[in-house]
Amino acid sequence: MFSRRTLLSRLTLSLACLALGAAALSARAQSAYPNKAVRLVVPYTAGGITDVLARALAERMRSHLGQPVIVENRPGANTALAAKIVSSADPDGYTVLFATGATAVLNPLLYPKLTYNPEKELAPVARIALTPMLMVVGGKSPHRTLSDLITAARDTPAKLNYGSTGTGSSPHLAGELLQQEAGISMLHVPYNGSSPVHVALMSGDIQFAADPAGSAMALAKSGKLHAVAVTSKVRLSALPDVPTVAESGYPNFEVTTWFGLMVPKKAPESVVQRLNAAVAASGADPEFRKQFEALGMVIPKPLSSTEFSTYIAHERAAWEPLIRAKNIVLE
């Protein structure tokens, strides 16, 4: 017969052993990440340049992670649908968001009733690529430089029309920032995507637009559109003759959209670091870089997850004053 004290001691010891065993199993499971397919949720439709980038990244990450990376397209609500799916997922690293600047920077500033909170519910993992914009006019436009365009806008305030892919989009904000920096006034005309913007430029319905380089580059090279400037700090290797906005007299001007990975906030740090390393290795692939630099993207130096988080915070702080000053609000 055992005394009550002896039984309690043995029970306590058994529970402690179980806890240690569970911790060991958890540690082994975590160190084995990933041991199954990873789901990469992309907030855009299949076939577009963002989807192409996501799939190329997924294929290279597969070789570095040793498990399939399955792309799942979940477009809608300016990336909010995909962000909500991932923010609500188990924080085990098997559901990953292909995030954009809209997801983590602009949406929280534009939407009063956003369905997710990127600061509280999503953890930055790695930055993948940057996409500058081209400042473009129609191929037959008399404005051949950015200075020409700005002079015309000053001569006829609020008479020139500029198009964008939608109110609150990065191209819209790039146009607003140019007006602020140059002290000019133009009329904003929002469209549903880049294609109708291009048509409007070529027909003369609008006189100017900022558009992602990947979307406008082919038309600019063909002469159907004319690029007067690029919004990055350095010229694009694919369009070396197009000056930057900074070179054109506005040294503080820089606008680039970005793509990166985010996971649910409570994902283990070891998982975040494993994904970060896979992205860095993928970005170092010369063929990967060549493919997307030819499309007007920039594959930047790798950032740690902490550096990426700081970068996002800086971007949000940079855009907030303009959005508030222009009272841009989306429902």
In this predicted structure, the answer to whether residue 1 has a pLDDT above a threshold of 70 is: no
When pLDDT is cut at 50, 70 and 90, the band that residue 301 belongs to is very high
The confidence score (pLDDT) of residue 331 equals 84
Same fold for the pair 35-131+257-325 and 132-230: yes
| CATH match of 132-230 with 3.40.190.10 | yes
When pLDDT is cut at 50, 70 and 90, the band that residue 7 belongs to is very low
| CATH match of 35-131+257-325 with 3.40.190.150 | yes
CA distance 147 to 228: 9
Mean pLDDT score of the chain: 91
Domain definitions of the chain by residue range = 35-131+257-325, 132-230
CA distance 115 to 120: 12
In this predicted structure, the answer to whether residue 28 has a pLDDT above a threshold of 50 is: no
In this predicted structure, the answer to whether residue 21 has a pLDDT above a threshold of 70 is: no
Predicted TM-score of the model (pTM) = 0.87
The confidence score (pLDDT) of residue 11 equals 45
Mean pLDDT over 266-283 rounds to 97
In this predicted structure, the answer to whether residue 4 has a pLDDT above a threshold of 80 is: no
Mean pLDDT over 199-228 rounds to 96
CA distance 36 to 132: 35
